[in-house]
């Protein structure tokens, strides 16, 4: 059986371009095997298959529940000029999701309701025009006066990724930039095929290490604090703020390195849009932080300019994570 004969029906590549991407050759050459349900205890987000790219163990995973995809497809059909005969997989190219409007902040800040009406994702909350421009450049390439069919398809991939799962966007951006000055502690993004993404296997989640020797646990604790340092201080352009520092959101790989593996509650802060931390005079304690979270998720008036005073709470949360 050759690479093209490998069954990758679980990737749903026929759903493209209403999908994350079309680099399906990754799955054909990666010797992927279907994951047994009981074997995925330490992995999250619907791991459907494991494989290898070179010597690197990787996983293919879905990024959202089927209900979110169904809602997304309904939106595509309602937005199409031919709603009664709609095939969302191809009709997405006829909708506003491939226009400039769909890739601007005013639309994206409310568009999460299309697929996730009951939860507010973190990424759009403090999203800046600068970061969105960089992501668009990564997915679509340089702006041109006339879009090719390939340009339109890549816009569909980007809109789908932004509206279905920000993790597909963040991992691609932060782990594939060859000239990035920051070694981000995240599993590497290798590509996307249909409605799965392929990323480096990051190891076991931290709850698997609760009964390990003290020396191992101490090393993990130190790495967690160093990881927070990286998120807050290392990059000249971006600050990443994880609002959910729990055992299940971090993993330890085969080399003993701690990685952040869940990005549902990660804010990307553009340093150019916030008050410099040296200008912050008040220290935020726990009541202050809880009030901040309420403003963040339940108010449309909060715009993140003073967010740097809240990021040190990641240190406290990493010490008490469960």
In the beta sheet, which residues pair with residue 199? 59, 189
| Nearby residues of 156 by Cβ (< 8 Å), 6 or more positions away | 17, 18, 92, 93, 97, 98
CA–CA gap between residue 88 and residue 31 (Å, rounded): 30
Give pLDDT, residue 244: 84
- Please indicate, yes or no, whether residues 34 and 182 belong to a single structural domain of this protein: yes
CA–CA gap between residue 239 and residue 231 (Å, rounded): 6
Give pLDDT, residue 65: 87
Give pLDDT, residue 40: 43
Mean pLDDT, rounded, for 209-218: 94
Domain-ending residue, one of 201, 228, 251: 201
Domain-ending residue, one of 179, 201, 223: 201
Token output for 175 = 């782990």
- Look at residue 80 and tell me whether its pLDDT is greater than 60: yes
pLDDT band at 301 (very low <50, low <70, confident <90, very high): low
- Look at residue 116 and tell me whether its pLDDT is greater than 70: yes
CA–CA gap between residue 192 and residue 160 (Å, rounded): 12
Q: For the chain, what percent of residues have pLDDT higher than 70?
A: 88
Give pLDDT, residue 4: 57
Q: Domain residues for 218?
A: 204-320
131 touches 238 (CB < 8 A): yes
The mean of the pLDDT values for the chain is 86
- Please indicate, yes or no, whether residues 97 and 3 belong to a single structural domain of this protein: yes
Q: For the chain, what percent of residues have pLDDT higher than 90?
A: 51
**Window from 171-180, 192-201, 235-244, 262-271 with minimum mean pLDDT:** 171-180
pLDDT band at 38 (very low <50, low <70, confident <90, very high): very low
Token output for 196 = 């799965």
In the beta sheet, which residues pair with residue 259? 251
pLDDT band at 43 (very low <50, low <70, confident <90, very high): very low
- Please indicate, yes or no, whether residues 182 and 235 belong to a single structural domain of this protein: no
Mean pLDDT, rounded, for 264-291: 79
Domain-ending residue, one of 151, 172, 201: 201
- Look at residue 152 and tell me whether its pLDDT is greater than 80: yes
> Kindly report the CA angle at 103 between 98 and 104, in degrees rounded to 5?
145
Mean pLDDT, rounded, for 139-153: 85
Backbone angles phi, psi at 268, to 5 degrees: -105, 115
- Please indicate, yes or no, whether residues 66 and 21 belong to a single structural domain of this protein: yes
- Please indicate, yes or no, whether residues 75 and 34 belong to a single structural domain of this protein: yes
**Window from 69-78, 147-156, 271-280 with minimum mean pLDDT:** 271-280
- Please indicate, yes or no, whether residues 153 and 265 belong to a single structural domain of this protein: no
> Kindly report the CA angle at 205 between 200 and 207, in degrees rounded to 5?
175
Number of domains in the chain: 2
Q: Is 99 exposed, middle or buried (0-12, 13-18, 19+ CB in 10 A)?
A: middle
pLDDT band at 44 (very low <50, low <70, confident <90, very high): very low
């Amino acid at each position: 059986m050759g690479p093209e004969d490998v069954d990758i029906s679980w990737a749903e590549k026929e759903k493209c371009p209403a999908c994350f991407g079309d680099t399906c050759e990754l799955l054909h050459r990666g010797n992927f095997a279907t994951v047994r349900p009981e074997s995925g205890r330490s992995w999250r987000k619907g791991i459907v298959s494991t494989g290898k790219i070179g010597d690197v163990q990787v996983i293919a995973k879905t990024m959202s529940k089927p209900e979110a995809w169904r809602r997304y497809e309904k939106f595509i059909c309602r937005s199409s000029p031919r709603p009664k005969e709609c095939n969302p997989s191809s009709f997405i190219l006829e909708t506003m999701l491939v226009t400039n409007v769909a890739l601007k902040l005013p639309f994206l800040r409310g568009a999460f309701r299309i697929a996730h009406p009951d939860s507010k994702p973190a990424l759009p909350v403090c999203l800046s025009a600068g970061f969105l421009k960089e992501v668009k450049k990564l997915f679509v390439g340089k702006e041109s006066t006339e879009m090719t069919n390939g340009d339109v398809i890549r816009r569909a991939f980007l809109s789908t990724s932004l509206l279905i799962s920000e993790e597909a966007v963040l991992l691609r951006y932060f782990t594939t930039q060859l000239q990035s000055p920051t070694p981000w502690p995240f599993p590497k993004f290798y590509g996307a095929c249909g409605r799965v993404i392929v990323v480096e296997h990051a190891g076991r989640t931290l709850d698997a290490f609760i009964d390990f020797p003290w020396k191992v646990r101490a090393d993990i604790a130190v790495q967690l604090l160093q990881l927070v340092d990286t998120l807050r201080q290392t990059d000249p352009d971006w600050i990443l703020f994880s609002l959910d520092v729990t055992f299940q959101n971090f993993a330890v790989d085969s080399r003993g390195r701690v990685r952040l593996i869940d990005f549902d509650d990660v804010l990307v802060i553009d340093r150019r849009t916030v008050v410099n931390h040296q200008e912050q005079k008040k220290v935020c304690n726990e009541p202050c932080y809880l009030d901040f979270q309420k403003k963040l998720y339940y108010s449309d008036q909060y715009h993140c300019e003073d967010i740097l005073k809240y990021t040190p709470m990641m240190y406290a949360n990493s010490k008490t994570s469960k």
